[in-house]
Amino acid sequence: MQQLKDVPHSYAGRDFTSGDLELIREMTEMCSGISRTELAKTVCELLGWRRRNGSLRGLECREYLEALEACGFLHLPALRPRRPQGSKTRIPETRQGEVQAPLVGTVKDVAPVEIQEASTAQQGGLFREVVGRYHYQGYDVAYGAQLRYLVYAGHPQRQLVGCLRFSSPAWRMSARDKWIGWDEPARTRNLQQVVSNSRFLLLPWVQVRNLASHVLSLAARRVSVDWPARYGNPAVLLETLVDPERFSGTCYHAANWIEVGMTTGRGRMDREHRRHDLAPKKVLLYPLVRRAAQRLRAV
């Protein structure tokens, strides 16, 4: 077992005392029969680790527990069988997701454009259906925290034109990490201030010039407010991946996103370097605050 001085004492904006770490190790030994998710929630309750809205920071706690295990400080319960990473959820098809009449023109022609959080069961079902039916990657369950939005055009009548999802960031991504310039302590402390635009869809019958870049600009403003309100972490930087075999990323460039390099093709959450079968993708970033990289480098 590693000694206290050799393990990370902070994660996701929280500092842990030696007493906290000893309590965490004691809890993992006492609760070896429960799942890692249940263990993380138990640790959160004991330490009072909550978001500003009062909810437990279970995701961050589990990641911290896994980091402590990786450096040999403790042993977590064995992973329980689950669906393979990247598996897709079967989505029922309803009339609300059927193809509509073409919508053409400019942003001015369809204004106002509204972004609405998919916060109810009905809205969530609509989000899952249209992503499952019309996004080339289909619908999957997001890693960790997430915000889902439906996009509506107001003219000639109010209608759904697309959707977006923002979720927890990639564990490591060399092009992003190089642009930020952070070291390991800063990355560990500030990673959850980065937010991933993990899905963006305009419905295939929507052919409105400049709508995509307009929606991205609206969404950036919403996320900068909604993410800290929901999860308690400031949103400092947005990231996304674009498959160059399918898309040029023009709408992101038009919305002032910065292209910083390519992925290695391993997958955004491949912490153990096991996956090497994915096509490299463009990495694009959008700072939500001034001196974003400097803020993320701070320890």
In a domain, 89, yes or no: no
In whole angstroms, give the CA distance from residue 91 to residue 235.
30
Domain count of the chain? 2
Encoded tokens for 39: 């263990």
**Number of CB atoms found within 10 A of residue 220's CB:** 20
Same domain, 56 and 99: no
Q: Are 203 and 211 in contact (CB under 8 A)?
A: no
Which of 254, 235, 244 minimizes the C-alpha distance to 295? Answer: 235
In whole angstroms, give the CA distance from residue 236 to residue 195.
8
Same domain, 151 and 41: no
In a domain, 86, yes or no: no
pLDDT of residue 266: 58
In whole angstroms, give the CA distance from residue 132 to residue 91.
6
pLDDT of residue 1: 55
DSSP structure class, residue 242:
E
Q: Are 148 and 165 in contact (CB under 8 A)?
A: yes
In a domain, 29, yes or no: yes
Based on DSSP, count helices (H) and strands (E) in the chain, helices before strands.
10, 11
Which helix (H) or strand (E) segment holds residue 171: the answer is none
Q: Where are the beta strands (DSSP E) in the chain?
A: 10-11, 14-15, 103-106, 113-117, 146-153, 159-167, 194-202, 206-209, 237-242, 258-262, 282-287
Instruction: Give burial (CB, 10 Å; 0-12/13-18/19+) of 197.
Output: buried
Which of 19, 17, 20, 43 minimizes the C-alpha distance to 30? Answer: 43
Per-residue pLDDT of the chain (299 residues; tens, 9 = 90+): 556 777 888 888 889 998 999 989 888 888 777 888 888 988 998 898 988 778 888 888 998 998 898 888 899 988 866 555 445 556 778 888 899 999 999 999 999 999 999 989 899 999 999 999 999 888 887 766 789 999 999 999 999 999 999 998 888 899 999 999 999 889 888 888 999 999 999 999 999 999 999 999 999 999 999 998 888 789 999 999 999 999 999 999 999 999 999 998 755 444 444 444 468 999 999 999 999 999 999 97
Same domain, 52 and 100: no
In whole angstroms, give the CA distance from residue 263 to residue 134.
25
In whole angstroms, give the CA distance from residue 68 to residue 148.
31
In whole angstroms, give the CA distance from residue 128 to residue 142.
11
Domain housing 66: 4-70
Cα 253 off chain centre by? 20
In a domain, 179, yes or no: yes
Give me the CATH number covering residue 171. 3.40.630.30
Same domain, 161 and 207: yes
Q: pTM here?
A: 0.72
DSSP letter for each residue of 193-207: GEEEEEEEEE-TTEE
Residues 102, 106, 109, 111: is their CA dihedral positive or negative?
Answer: positive
Same domain, 120 and 238: yes
Same domain, 171 and 238: yes
pLDDT of residue 54: 80
Assign 3-class secondary structure to 117-155. Answer: ECCCHHHHHHHHHHHHHHCCCCCCCCCCCEEEEEEEECC
